[in-house]
């Protein structure tokens, strides 16, 4: 077998990085649950007609098929693909289980997703998303749209990462404004504006004329809206000053004001109204969110989402929702790549029980068991080498303490060299040493 090579876009973290990821996951879960969101996990595959019906995703979906299937015979797997986000599967889940759920239904979902896009720094083909959503039957009050940034602000604020800014907009503002301008294809205009940061205003203006049927004057007016940004509700006055009117525009402005003012009251500086934010997926109908990580803005949003009114709809049943998703793998990849995250040791172990000879391994195992019962991560030395070698084994892994069985036993802090008598039934390490810490 030749030496294996990594597959681009499918990250495999080393154990210290994986421990950091686990700490992040634990903190994110705890914040989600503090806000009353219940855990959920959906299957990895969905019918292709569901995956492809909303937004420009057809080039990104991985299709599921068996290696040796008969190409001449139809197979149920022909119509299945790996999910590219967690919102579409969640909407399907709600429709299938609506009779068993209590509404409004609040859930968090932390799973891997797959997208067949070009891998680059901070962008992967397999990655972990951390989602929260609220859905209700028939109608969903707008105050849930104001809650989303607060949850994410607390979750990301609890992590050892640079500060974040959540950019918010409302699709109704954009669509109402475009209708007021007389544009016939607001969705095409939204898709063009969504590329503003990537291709710049000149090329977006060209796209608006080519795909949305805009005149030069209309394209200029669209870009004028996209330039408006504010940390308070003054953005609404700036929009009205453009002289465009439409009932949907007024509705969107009122909803966006509520989001911005709520965020300002509970988390000052967290949110900014940025009217160039559009989001590329077609299923969004109200507030939309994107999140910038300080110092890493050029890599795009690390957390995004929005309101969707028609995604979970079947016949007369309608379950509008709003959600937001942290791209955890993107966050970690960017920070690992910039050497911004490290952990105090590469193993969970706090104590290494030294071994004088193999005949005393059972006694060493008993000491380790006593410490583990008290929640102290412990392992026994792999070999009965000289104590100096066993200490170096601990040093290489960052294990802070070595336990020496004897009469009496003793524990040594190998960083300071301090050593003292110890009893496995009562000894405890300093709280800072019990588990690895993220630096």
3 within a domain of the structure (yes/no): no
- pLDDT for 74 equals 56
Percentage of the chain beyond pLDDT 70 is 96
Residues 435 and 439: their CA atoms lie apart, in Å, by 13
Q: Which two tokens stand for residue 237?
A: 């006055």
Binding residues: 85-87, 115, 129, 133, 279, 283-284
Q: Which two tokens stand for residue 349?
A: 């172990």
- pLDDT for 54 equals 58
- Residues 32-87: pLDDT tens digits? 999 999 999 999 999 998 888 655 566 789 998 887 766 655 555 568 999 999 99
**Of residues 66 and 134, more confidently modeled:** 134
- Out of 285, 315, 337, a domain closes at 337
4 within a domain of the structure (yes/no): no
Cβ partners under 8 Å of residue 65, min gap 6: 75, 77, 78
- pLDDT for 280 equals 67
Cβ partners under 8 Å of residue 372, min gap 6: 378
- pLDDT for 38 equals 98
303 within a domain of the structure (yes/no): yes
Residues 260 and 296: their CA atoms lie apart, in Å, by 23
Say if residues 74 and 51 touch (Cβ distance below 8 Å): no
219 within a domain of the structure (yes/no): yes
- Residues 322-340: pLDDT tens digits? 999 999 999 999 999 999 9
- Residues 376-421: pLDDT tens digits? 999 999 999 999 999 999 999 999 999 999 999 999 999 999 999 9
Instruction: Mark out the alpha helices in 285-380 (DSSP H runs).
Output: 328-337, 361-373
- Out of 337, 361, 387, a domain closes at 337
How do 401-404 and 410-413 pair as beta strands? Answer: antiparallel
Identify the CATH number of the domain in which residue 235 sits. 3.30.930.10
Residues 306 and 152: their CA atoms lie apart, in Å, by 13
Instruction: Mark out the alpha helices in 194-339 (DSSP H runs).
Output: 196-211, 216-226, 235-240, 247-266, 328-337
Binding residues for L-histidine: 85-87, 115, 129, 133, 279, 283-284
Are residues 333 and 355 both part of a single domain?
no
What's this model's pTM, rounded to 2 decimal places? 0.90
Q: Hunting for tokens 């999910």 — which residue is that?
A: 83
Are residues 139 and 255 both part of a single domain?
yes
Q: Which two tokens stand for residue 313?
A: 């709809």
Are residues 112 and 186 both part of a single domain?
yes
Are residues 152 and 208 both part of a single domain?
yes
Residue 125 CB coordination number (10 Å): 18
Are residues 330 and 394 both part of a single domain?
no
Are residues 287 and 318 both part of a single domain?
yes
- Residues 80-129: pLDDT tens digits? 999 999 999 999 999 999 999 999 999 999 999 999 988 888 889 999 99
- pLDDT for 70 equals 64
9 within a domain of the structure (yes/no): no
- pLDDT for 51 equals 86
Q: Is 422 helix (H, G, I), strand (E, B) or coil?
A: coil
- pLDDT for 73 equals 54
Are residues 268 and 364 both part of a single domain?
no
Residue 71 CB coordination number (10 Å): 8
- The DSSP element (H or E) to which 327 belongs, if any, is strand 321-327
Structural domain range at position 405: 351-434
Give 3-state DSSP helix, strand, coil % of the chain, rounded to 5: 40, 20, 40
Residue 342 CB coordination number (10 Å): 15
Residue 279: phi, psi to the nearest 5?
70, 135
Residues 175 and 167: their CA atoms lie apart, in Å, by 18
Task: Examine residue 104 and say whether the peptide bond preceding it is cis (omega within 30 degrees of 0).
Answer: yes
pLDDT average, residue stretch 277-281:
78
Are residues 305 and 371 both part of a single domain?
no
Dihedral over Cα of 208, 209, 211, 213: its sign: positive
333 within a domain of the structure (yes/no): yes
Identify the CATH number of the domain in which residue 409 sits. 3.40.50.800
Are residues 292 and 224 both part of a single domain?
yes
Residues 240 and 402: their CA atoms lie apart, in Å, by 69
- pLDDT for 71 equals 60
Average pLDDT in the chain: 93
- Out of 288, 308, 337, a domain closes at 337
Say if residues 351 and 411 touch (Cβ distance below 8 Å): yes
As a whole number of Å, the CA-based R_g of the chain is 27
pLDDT average, residue stretch 313-325:
92
Say if residues 89 and 54 touch (Cβ distance below 8 Å): no
Provide the domain count of the chain: 2
Are residues 412 and 281 both part of a single domain?
no
Q: Which two tokens stand for residue 5?
A: 């090579």
Percentage of the chain beyond pLDDT 90 is 82
How do 271-274 and 164-170 pair as beta strands? Answer: parallel
């Amino acid at each position: 077998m030749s030496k294996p090579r990594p597959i681009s876009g499918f990250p495999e973290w080393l154990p210290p990085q994986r421990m950091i990821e686990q700490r992040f996951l634990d903190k994110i879960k705890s914040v989600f649950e503090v806000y009353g969101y219940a855990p959920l996990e959906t299957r990895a595959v969905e019918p292709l007609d569901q995956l492809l019906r909303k937004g420009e995703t057809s080039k990104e979906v991985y299709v599921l098929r068996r290696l040796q299937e008969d190409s001449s015979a139809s197979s149920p797997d022909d119509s299945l693909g790996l999910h590219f986000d967690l919102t579409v599967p969640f909407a399907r889940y709600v429709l299938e289980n609506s009779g068993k759920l209590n509404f409004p239904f609040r859930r968090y979902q932390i799973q891997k997703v797959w997208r067949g896009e070009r891998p680059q720094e901070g962008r992967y083909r397999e990655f972990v998303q951390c989602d929260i959503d609220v859905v209700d039957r028939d109608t969903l009050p707008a105050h849930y749209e104001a809650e989303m940034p607060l949850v994410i602000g607390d979750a990301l604020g609890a992590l050892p990462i640079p500060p974040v800014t959540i950019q918010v907009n409302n699709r109704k503002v954009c669509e109402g404004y475009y209708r007021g301008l007389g544009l016939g294809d607001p969705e095409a205009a939204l898709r063009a504006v969504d590329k503003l940061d990537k291709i710049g205003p000149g090329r977006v203006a060209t796209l608006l004329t080519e795909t949305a049927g805009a005149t030069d004057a209309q394209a200029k007016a669209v870009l004028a809206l996209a330039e408006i940004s504010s940390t308070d509700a003054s953005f609404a006055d700036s929009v009205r000053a453009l002289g465009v009117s439409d009932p949907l525009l007024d509705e969107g402005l009122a909803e966006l004001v509520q989001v911005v003012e709520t965020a300002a009251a509970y988390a000052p500086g967290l949110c900014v109204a940025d009217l160039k934010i559009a989001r590329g997926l077609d299923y969004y109908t109200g507030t939309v969110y994107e999140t910038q990580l300080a110092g890493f803005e050029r890599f795009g949003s690390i957390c995004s989402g929005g309101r969707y009114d028609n995604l979970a709809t079947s016949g007369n049943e309608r379950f509008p929702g709003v959600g937001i998703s942290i791209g955890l793998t993107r966050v970690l990849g960017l920070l690992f790549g910039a050497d911004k995250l490290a952990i105090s040791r590469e193993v969970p172990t706090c104590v290494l029980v030294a071994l004088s000879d193999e005949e005393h391994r059972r006694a060493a195992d008993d000491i380790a068991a006593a410490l583990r019962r008290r929640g102290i991560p412990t392992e026994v030395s792999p070999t009965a080498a000289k104590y100096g070698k066993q200490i170096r084994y601990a040093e290489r892994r960052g294990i802070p303490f070595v336990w020496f069985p004897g009469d009496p036993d003793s524990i040594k802090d190998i960083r300071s060299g301090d050593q003292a008598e110890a009893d496995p039934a009562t000894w405890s390490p300093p709280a800072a040493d019990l588990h690895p810490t993220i630096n």
